[in-house]
Amino acid sequence: MGLKISVIGGASSYTPELFANLIDLHEHLEVEQVTLMDLNKEKLGVIAKVGEKLLAGSQMGMRIAATQNLEQAVDGADFIILQIRVGGLEARVRDETLPMEFGMVGNETTGAGGFVCALRTVPVALEIAHEIERLSPNAWVLNLSNPAGIVTEALLKHTRLHTIGFCNIPINTTYELANVLGVPPEKVRLDSFGLNHLSWARGAYVDDEEMLQPLIAGTSGRNSVLYQHGLVEDMLDPQWLRTLNMIPSWYVRYYYFIEQVLEQDRRSGPTKGNKDMEAEERLRSLYLTEGYGDTAQRILASKGGAQYYLPVLQVIRSIVHDSGEVVVVDVRNDGALPDLPAQTCVEVPARINRAGIEPLPVGSMPLRVRGLVQAVKAYEELTVEAATTGSHEAALAALVAHPLVGSVPRAMLFWDRVLQNERPYLSRFFDAHQVRPSSP
């Protein structure tokens, strides 16, 4: 019998990439059925047909099932990919635009926008997880839902499920470094640490030889190889890169260049969410006519989510074959980063086995980034508390703790607007016993 994989949020435009990757890996993974579950029946049907078209040209005997019923999707599943977007792209646009009204950068995964996204997503993710606990308690939950680190931490703290979170930044960094070094990607072992969307790559090993540090030391300008290959954010001065002695992930730009990013976003007009809406329309047309091909791949890559399923399938393969592969994932800390609480979620290399996940020791974080990571982790812990309890106090404390918010009056005014805009998704905060603090 082959594997049964379920995808919650299966109508995502990215899902065809999963089928393409499964076809590429068919010699390593025997999959009996992929079940797509989504509340959007029309989109679900389109994506299922795209998958069937891809499979028709392969040698795989895998079946695709589509359902709107959660119980049917998770019952008997071996692996469950969680990729939900509560509120859709319309909510993402709100997460990007509302913070800018208050002079803060707007993003769906970090800062004030990421906070709101987490409050909408965590309760729904936990509802799904509790159904998985009831019907398939031994299944592995592979979380792609944003903000991935916070959602994964909530699942780790409030369920008994085997849970791993994923980001495509480590895999994309690995692939691009392999391109720079002229070696296959599987030869590169990335030494990366931090939190989801707040991480740094400090080493890249090929046959146990560290290859990244010489590249950083040799970076004298933006025409150097790390910039030319997109491994370093253009805003980052080469001197600061050498000072860090590490490559920050792309999202660190929100912390290092707050004013520049805010001004850039204000001038750019449509937000990323608006642009993704347009991309979704183009993809829908393509999927209805051509299916999943080169054009669709380029559009998905431009959206920023390409290659998400590669680390997911790497983890599945390592569990199935008990091969102990090392993958950079979002996982319970358990001492890998001793500067952070053991029970929190971190993004580090972890050894993946059938019996479980072993985060590899990273050691103390460099002082140049330690305080920032600790502050954001405190925000994440408070956000999980707020999302699971409906505590206004925890919500405000989370906002104030975040380095991109920081001001108590601004946090309180922002929170008032969030409660107005997101009321259908924040029922916990409107329970009779909850006391709502007054704004200044």
Catalytic residues: 251
In this predicted model, what pLDDT tens digit does every residue of 305-345 receive, in sequence order?
A: 778 899 999 999 999 999 999 999 999 999 999 999 999 99
Instruction: Give the Cα separation of 204 and 195 in Å (integer).
Output: 18
In this predicted model, what pLDDT tens digit does every residue of 228-251 receive, in sequence order?
A: 999 999 999 999 999 999 999 999
Query: Residue 14: phi, psi to the nearest 5?
Result: -80, -20
Residues 6 or more apart whose Cβ sits within 8 Å of residue 416: 439
Cβ pair 8, 68 in contact under 8 A: no
> How confident is the model at residue 436, as a pLDDT?
62
> How confident is the model at residue 432, as a pLDDT?
54
In tens digits, what is the pLDDT along the chain, a chain of 440 residues? 799 999 999 999 999 999 999 999 999 999 999 999 999 999 999 999 999 999 997 878 899 999 999 999 999 999 999 999 999 999 999 999 999 999 999 999 999 999 999 999 999 999 999 999 999 999 999 999 999 999 999 999 999 999 999 999 999 999 999 999 999 999 999 999 999 999 999 999 999 999 999 999 999 999 999 999 999 999 999 999 999 999 999 999 999 999 999 999 999 889 999 999 999 999 999 999 999 999 999 999 888 777 889 999 999 999 999 999 999 999 999 999 999 999 999 999 999 999 999 999 999 999 999 999 999 999 999 999 999 999 999 999 999 999 999 899 999 999 999 999 999 999 999 985 665 665 55
Cβ pair 88, 38 in contact under 8 A: no
Specify the residue for token string 């910039």. 227
Omega before 359 within 30 of 0, i.e. cis: no
b (16+ CB within 10 A) / e for 59-71: ebebebebbeebe
Predicted model pTM? 0.96
Cβ pair 217, 234 in contact under 8 A: no
3-165 — its CATH code? Answer: 3.40.50.720
Cβ pair 192, 200 in contact under 8 A: yes
What are the structure tokens assigned to 187, written together? 């030869």
> How confident is the model at residue 269, as a pLDDT?
84
